[in-house]
């Protein structure tokens, strides 16, 4: 779990905060509410997840409950790994 969270945070900080405000990205901070990611940025996140973790994200999974914080995204990836037997991280 921790490994997922670390990777996600590193990706968000590098690509959306340009390493400038990394320390302020909390695990429960909403990407949408805080304007961290927008409608095209979330597609970059999806593409990164599909490429990095080898899973396919169906459109129906693109929901705030799965994607809107580091914590939720971590849970989503873990759930996928459990379902498909992919090793964590």
Partner 1 sequence: MLIQDFLLGSCRKNPDAEALVSGTFRATYADVTDAALSLAASLVAEGLQPGDRVAVLTDVPFDYIVSYFGTLLAGGVFVGLNTQTSSRTLKQLLSDCGASIVVTHRKFLKYFESMADGVPSLICVVIAGGGTVVGVSNRIFAGLIAKRNDNIALLPTREPANLAQIIYTSGTTGTPKGVMLSHTNLVVNTHSTLQYLGLTGSDRVMVVLPFFYSYGNSVLLTHIAVGGALIVNQSMMYPTVILDQMQTERVTGFSGVPSTFALLLKRTAIRDSPLPQLRYVTQAGGWMSPSLTRELIAALPEVAIHVMYGQTEAAPRLSSLDPADLQRKAGSIGKAIPGVTLKVLTPTGAAVKPGETGELAAKGENVMIGYWGQPQATAEVLRDGWLWTGDLVTADEEGYLYIAGRQSDMIKSGAHRIAPKEIEDVLLEHDAVFEVAVIGVDDEILGESLQACVVLKEAGSCQAEELLRHCQQILPHYKVPHSIMFFDELPKTESGKIRKTELMAGILSLQEDP
d(Cα 77, Cα 74) in Å, to the nearest integer? 5
24 near partner 1, judged by CB under 8 A: no
d(Cα 78, Cα 89) in Å, to the nearest integer? 9
Main-chain phi, psi angles of 67, to 5 degrees = -120, -10
Q: Which is nearer to partner 1, 18 or 87 (CB)?
A: 18
23 near partner 1, judged by CB under 8 A: no
81 near partner 1, judged by CB under 8 A: no
Distances from the Cα of 3 to the Cαs of 35, 45, 50, 88, in angstroms?
Answer: 25, 17, 16, 7
1 near partner 1, judged by CB under 8 A: no
Between residue 38 and residue 57, which ones bind partner 1 under the rule CB under 8 A? 38-43
Interacting residues toward partner 1 by CB under 8 A = 14, 17-20, 31-35, 37-43, 59-60, 62-64, 67-68
């Amino acid at each position: 779990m921790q490994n997922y969270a670390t990777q996600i945070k590193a990706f968000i900080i590098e690509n959306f905060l340009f390493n400038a405000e990394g320390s302020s990205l909390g695990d429960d901070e909403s990407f949408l509410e805080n304007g961290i990611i927008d409608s095209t940025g979330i597609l970059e996140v999806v593409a990164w997840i599909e490429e990095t973790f080898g899973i396919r994200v169906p459109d129906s999974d693109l929901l705030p409950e799965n994607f809107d914080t580091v914590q939720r995204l971590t849970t989503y990836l873990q759930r996928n790994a459990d379902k498909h037997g992919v090793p964590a991280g």
